[in-house]
Amino acid sequence: MADHQTDQNGTAPSKPPPWNDPVIRSIAFQIVAVILVGYFFYYILNNTLSNMESRGITTGFKFLDTEAGFGILMSLIEYDESHTYGRTFLVGLLNTLMVSVLGIILATIIGFIVGIMRLSNNWLISKIATVYIEVLRNIPLLLQIFFWYIAVLQALPGPRQSMRIGDSFFLNNRGLYSPRPIFEDGFGMVVIAIVIAIAAIVYIKRWAHRRQEITGEQFPVFWTSLGLLIVLPGLAFLVTGMPLSWEYSELKRFSFGGGMRIIPEMMALLWALTMYTAAFIAEIVRSGIQAVSHGQTEAARALGLRNGPTLRLIIIPQAMRVIIPPLTSQYLNLTKNSSLATAIGYPDLVSVFMGTTLNQTGQAVEIVAMTMAVYLTISLSISFVMNWYNRKMALVER
Amino acid sequence: MSIINHSTSPDLPPPVTEVGVIGWMRHNLFSSPLNFALTLVGAYLIFTFFIPAFDWAIWSANFTGKDQSACTGGGACWVFIADRLNFFVYGFFPDAEYWRVNIVFILLAALLIPQFIEAFPYKMWLGWALLVGLPIVSYFLLIGGSFGIVHVETEKWGGIMLTLVLSFVGIVAALPIGIVLALGRRSNMPVIRGICIGFIELWRGVPLISVLFMASVMLPLFLPEGLNFNKLLRALIGIVMFQSAYMAEVIRGGLQAIPKGQYEAADALGLGYWKSMGLIILPQALKLVIPGIVNTFIALFKDTTLVLIIGLLDILASVQASIIDPAWSDVATEGYVFAAFVFWIFCFGMSRYSQALERKLHTGHKR
């Protein structure tokens, strides 16, 4: 700021003494800061190395190749005791990612519904939404997880007295059992059909948009897309001879066998994460919609738009601009909060890797650093993607 | 005889269907077929969830008694909570020393409540006493070992008291660190800015649990041999690091909201960096972000429950420990509802306060 000052006569002012020169000062400050931070890290590193030596802990990532020797409750990839510690990292990471992705999808759906409910003209509905939001967001998430896990799911009846829907779904204190789909040969065709349908929809949408720009004629894109999405895969399914069957769960002597089992840990965690985050998302949605001024709706009416297009073309795009940044931070929160899994034993990254693996190997520094690096990467990449989307949606001011 | 009536006819009352209870219901509950259906759904929800919940919590609940045998109503067994209340509030703090905790509670209330009252005199001094005086006094009172009062190890702390200690120390210590970090992030010096951004993004990018894990397993490795922190102090260090990063971002928002003219005016007056920040910018910026600070405090208050994972006995952990007591069976729901209620009261109150403040501070500049 004070670099390029000249006085009224156009001559440079006399130079200040070096200890008062802002440029020199700022360089000096920065050098001091670097030295202090560097010394701090050096000090910590030194202590850590000598501490680890005196406790007989080896450094390095060799432990990742040794056999883990402990089982994990749930795994998306093949895993048993004979796999390595490196594999436990992967299992934990995948479990974390799965619960986060499912949580984000469910919380977004519920959050948007509750947020719109809160703005409803119907007094009763808007009050129910308010109570939901105010209760859930003011109670710690960990408490909610414990509540669902211990007070609700563990209090369910045992396998013999399961709650059931027909012969396909069973709910008991061992988890939720549902039929497992078995894909036979030829199901690939159905998947291909779905991909083709999606490609066709994208093309039709572009074509309809172009045609409307030129001729002003509209094309029923939504109904065509829905039709395509149902008819194409349906045809493929019938033609290939229905290559899909279901494996049902059956009650064996003490528990259920076959089918698909969702462990109670996952149900409790997913449910609590969803309900908690949905309360925050609902508030974000409400404030986003309210931020669009009423004049916009009136202007849309004046242009002759009906209710649907008003919402789709005028209100939602503007509301999204307000909604997206806080929504991103809620997604990040949900992902980070999924680490609370460790409290009820859902095998996520923190619970498996930073819990069991750390206890068994004692490699605290490496494991904590790896885990933190994973979360940092997830955080930074979600915020990167969302920032990109946000820039795309942002108001282009002329 | 004239056919024109010159006298004014009396006002008719509005139609019954437009005013009063019926009118209100027509407008708010049954204005369209969709609304009618929604009202029915809402009523169904109330009948299936809220009424049984109330019945469980109040009408068929038992409030008085001594042990499990008093719970006969089929509803909630609040006797359990009453029996364990001391444990939930003080943890394992010795019975004879409860007065020390009580004094801290009273001091906290006495210093905090005036802050919410508009016209209370000496608010600034009370605020300083709250932020600086109270932690010092509480430290001596709770730990003891000096001034002739008994020493109480921090392992015995627990319950609501521990929750309050963790969140209060977290916020009070995070405030100055957060201010420094926020100023650093907006500094013109690239190295300082880089260090601050790195610190803030590192802590904001990782979950609090991993920070607490780090504090409990990695911190002892960082310290020179012979120096050891106890569990509470380690947790506090983790919480303060984590919280100061969030605080820094809140304060940065305030700093950005101050118009450039203020910075330039401070420069024009010839104030140096620290004076212009301390006298001109920060007082305005901090005032702007009080609602944001309260919101981070609410988040921190809820997050203190995580310390149970590294083995501290906060209120949730004391509930967890009590519900597995064989003297009581099937009291998990009661325990959780009680803990939830305590948290809810604090958090709801604070969020209402922060909303009111936001309305007060937004004097017409809202776009």
At B361, the pLDDT band (50, 70, 90 cuts) reads: confident
Average predicted confidence (pLDDT) for chain B: 84
* For residue A89, pLDDT beyond 50: yes
- Of the residues A34, A55, A76, which one is the last residue of a structural domain? A55
- How confident is the model over A118-145, as a mean pLDDT? 90
- pLDDT tens track for A159-216: 777 777 777 778 877 778 877 777 777 778 888 888 988 999 999 989 988 988 888 8
Instruction: State how many domains chain A has.
Output: 3
Residues A212 and A104 in one domain: no
pLDDT value of residue B156: 80
Say whether A252 sits in a helix, a strand or coil: coil
Best mutation target among A119, A139, A293 (most B Cβ atoms within 10 Å) is A139
- pLDDT tens track for B9-40: 888 888 877 777 888 887 777 777 888 888 88
Residue A124 to chain B, least CA–CA distance (Å) = 6
- How confident is the model over B317-327, as a mean pLDDT? 84
Q: Search chain B and give the residue with CA nearest A43.
A: B222
Is the residue at B197 inside a domain?
yes
Is the residue at A79 inside a domain?
no
- How confident is the model over A13-21, as a mean pLDDT? 75
Is the residue at A338 inside a domain?
yes
**Segments forming the whole domain that contains residue A242:** 180-247
Is the residue at A9 inside a domain?
no
- How confident is the model over B287-292, as a mean pLDDT? 85
Q: Which CATH number characterizes residue B281's domain?
A: 1.10.3720.10
Q: Search chain B and give the residue with CA nearest A28.
A: B189
Is the residue at B321 inside a domain?
yes
DSSP string covering A177-242: EE-EEEE-TTHHHHHHHHHHHHHHHHHHHHHHHHHHHHH-----HHHHHHHHHHHHHHHHHHHTT-
- Contact between A122 and B29 using a beta-carbon 8 Å cutoff: yes
* For residue A231, pLDDT beyond 80: yes
* For residue A112, pLDDT beyond 50: yes
Percent of chain B topping pLDDT 90? 10
Residues A306 and A361 in one domain: yes
B305 exposure class (CB count in 10 Å sphere: 0-12, 13-18, 19+):
buried
Taking contacts as CB-CB distances below 8 angstroms, the residues of chain A near B202 are 372, 376
CB of A186 within 8 A of CB of A238? no
**Between A147, A365, A372, which is nearest B221 by CB?**
A365
- Of the residues A247, A282, A299, which one is the last residue of a structural domain? A247
pLDDT value of residue A164: 77
- Of the residues A198, A218, A247, which one is the last residue of a structural domain? A247
Q: Please give the residue that has the higher pLDDT: either A240 or A208.
A: A208
pLDDT value of residue B367: 39
**Between B206, B213, B348, which is nearest A138 by CB?**
B348
Instruction: For residue A163, list its beta bridge partners.
Output: A171
**Segments forming the whole domain that contains residue B258:** 78-93+152-361
pLDDT value of residue B366: 44
* For residue A1, pLDDT beyond 50: no
pLDDT value of residue B255: 87
Residues A165 and A190 in one domain: no
Residue A186 CB contacts under 8 Å (≥ 6 apart), including other chains: A240, A241, A243
Residue B33 CB contacts under 8 Å (≥ 6 apart), including other chains: none
Percent of chain B topping pLDDT 70? 98
- pLDDT tens track for A255-278: 677 777 888 888 899 999 999 999
* For residue A3, pLDDT beyond 60: no
Taking contacts as CB-CB distances below 8 angstroms, the residues of chain A near B207 are 336-337, 339, 350, 375
- pLDDT tens track for B143-182: 777 777 777 777 788 888 889 889 889 988 999 999 999 9
Is the residue at B235 inside a domain?
yes
Residues A163 and A184 in one domain: no
A51 exposure class (CB count in 10 Å sphere: 0-12, 13-18, 19+):
middle
Residues A94 and A186 in one domain: no
Best mutation target among A45, A368, A381, A383 (most B Cβ atoms within 10 Å) is A368
Chain A 39-58, residues with CB within 8 Å of chain B CB atoms: 44, 47-48, 50-52, 54
Distance CA A310, CA A302 (A): 11
- Contact between B309 and A54 using a beta-carbon 8 Å cutoff: no
- pLDDT tens track for A284-295: 999 888 888 888
Q: Residue B67: CA atoms inside 13 Å, Cβ hemisphere, count?
A: 5
At A394, the pLDDT band (50, 70, 90 cuts) reads: low
pLDDT value of residue A18: 76
- pLDDT tens track for B115-154: 777 777 777 788 888 888 888 888 877 777 777 777 777 7
**Helix, strand, coil percentages, rounded to 5, for chain A:** 70, 5, 25
Task: Cite the DSSP H helix spans in B46-148.
Answer: 51-54, 78-90, 98-116, 123-128, 134-143
